[in-house]
Structure 1
Amino acid sequence: MAVNQMTAQNPGTTHGRDQAADTPLMMLTYRSRATSPLSETQLGDLQHTAAARNRAEGITGMMVYNDDRIFQWLEGPPASIARIWSSISRDPRHADIEALSMQTAPSRLFSRWSLKLTTGPADPLIGEMTAATMSSTNAAAERLAALAIAAEPTEARLLLHAAYAEFRSIAALTELLIEPAARALGDLWAEDDCGEYEVTLGLCRLQTFLREVATDSMQQQIAHPLVVLVAPLPGEIHMLGATLDAEALWQAGHDTRVRFPSTERALERIVATKWFDAIDLSLSPAFSREHRIERMRHIVDSVRRASKNPALVVITGGRAFYDRTASSDDVHAHTSSTSAAHLPATVARVLKKHA
């Protein structure tokens, strides 16, 4: 199918109906199967007609078409969503229509588009978002957090794939969406909107979806790669931070070794038997873990004593360091990292300083 990224926008207009505080915003997602393959002309006609009706109803959204499968995300006033859904449900051009979610939403994610239509050979869940939409508000990260702990994680996968389709950068995806979503999960827990199990589940799903979008990532070739050990602090069950750090360091061209030691002694054995230029130790990206700061300091000291490299550089990360409830001095590290996106530059800077 040659059609790709056809867009119907609303130049110079806003969807003011849902801007009033007393008017809720509804979000609907569904998937279906076309009863017969749609040609480029048919898709163009479909997009034109649907976009015109969406404009009239104050609806925005996106549709992905691939291999006769359809996925659509619509957002707008509840009454308008109900009318559009009624029409969609009776449309003979598709079958196996399944509503995935219909719920209130804090803000629009596709405010620029009456209908964004994307086709191509990629995963049918992949669409696009504008970088402006993603960076101008934290709504996307908060939405991703909520979707990551939903019973059906399809929409979380869509949102993450959509962002990557726009950014084409794991670093940008990490800093602008995944890490804020991890912190948003911690905030949901702090507000008693979910339990610790749901936070852990959400982080695991984010980690899984990251691996999906990172499958085509390429490693840079550099002259003198560093050997870096990446590990969560022993006892830390949230692995997303270590996964993000490892991906960033690997993409930057470094010899990255990822380990998940269950005990302090196991971590000591790793650094005692293998030369590492640096070690990256992480706490949870969702929780501050203030009660583990003292133990982290003790482990950093013991790792330095056990290290085969007497000049081992130690970098720490996690929400505690992002929120500045802890500093690198508190844990006897050389420095701390607030985002995996900046970790390679941080490692290089610290090593140069302490060379």
Structure 2
Amino acid sequence: MEEEGRDHFYFQDDLGSPMRLTDEAGRSEEAYGFDEFGNDIWTAKDIFQDSMQSFGFTGYQMDSAGGLYFAQARQYDSGIGRFVSEDIMRGHIAVPFTMNHYSYCWNRPMDLVDLNGMWPEDPTAGVTKALTDMQRCDKPVSYIFYTTGEGSDFSKQAEWKAEQLESIDKNVVMVPIESADDFVNGWNNMGITPDGIADIEDVEIYTHSNATTFIFVDGSETEALSVSGQNSDLQKIKGICDLKSKDIVSVNIYGCNSGNLSQYINNKSNITSALSKIVSGDVYAYDGNVAFGPTWSRPFRKYGKYEDRLSNIQKGYIKIALKNRWFRKSIGKVKYKDGELYEKCDE
């Protein structure tokens, strides 16, 4: 920085907080010190009022009028170690410590910073590295995402699936979805548990869908997530780009036509092939409309009440097939890996 025609230089700590301000000759002009939450513990003067420069704790700009730090999306009060307004990032019930909308860096100020007032990060290597340094859980976790709204309530299917997984001693986390934000936050926070970092074994996704889009609210054009991040009206919505890459053994998608072959062959992508690019394991989905439970050809004694299957009614599939000039019948469950069609699965 330049002050009265003279250059000055900052020396910072690992969190980005200024520790010393020197002149061109290296002589110290000011020194600073902060506790874990940003309170000044070094100088006797009021740094908000009397400092030569305007940057304080973690590089936040100091507001001399209110004695607060400007953190882009909101202001931070170091005196109480809390933001003074609510976080626009809502957190997720699958990760309880993200649900406090006023806390600073999940109460981990020694190794995380919040540069924009919305989400903590590690100043050297990102949140993922910071969290993986925590104690790892011995038992892998399986996640079940399911929409709950009117016309798109898959609660019964999800509960049935949870019973199946728990019966073989799997650790299941249920993630109810009411919006696109719920899905994105739930996905990005998978593997983070109160006991540390867990491996992700299975992910089950119950939602309406078409060949390019997960639809989380029945009939909505905006509460959705698509391959491109746009809906059919070219409005911006959530996209695959909003999801973090994950190490997962397998993902099962129970949305209609999410693995649609005509879309994949004609356009080189569908919502499942796109998702498989950010997943280390296999991703399973349906070429065709999906239904649940037994039929005359799938007796109840063999297939459970909410077992997934290819629907007897393929109205949605036919609509997509005609659009893509595709004249083959739906084939049911298919597997994608690394963005590519891998194989048809036996039902």
Larger relative strand fraction? 2
Q: If you compute each CA radius of gyration, which structure gives the higher value, 1 or 2?
A: 2
Same fold (TM over 0.5): no
More relative contact order, 1 or 2 (CA 8 Å, 6+ apart): 1
Please, what TM-score do these two structures have when normalized by structure 2?
0.32
TM-score (norm 1): 0.31
Larger helix proportion, structure 1 or 2?
A: 1
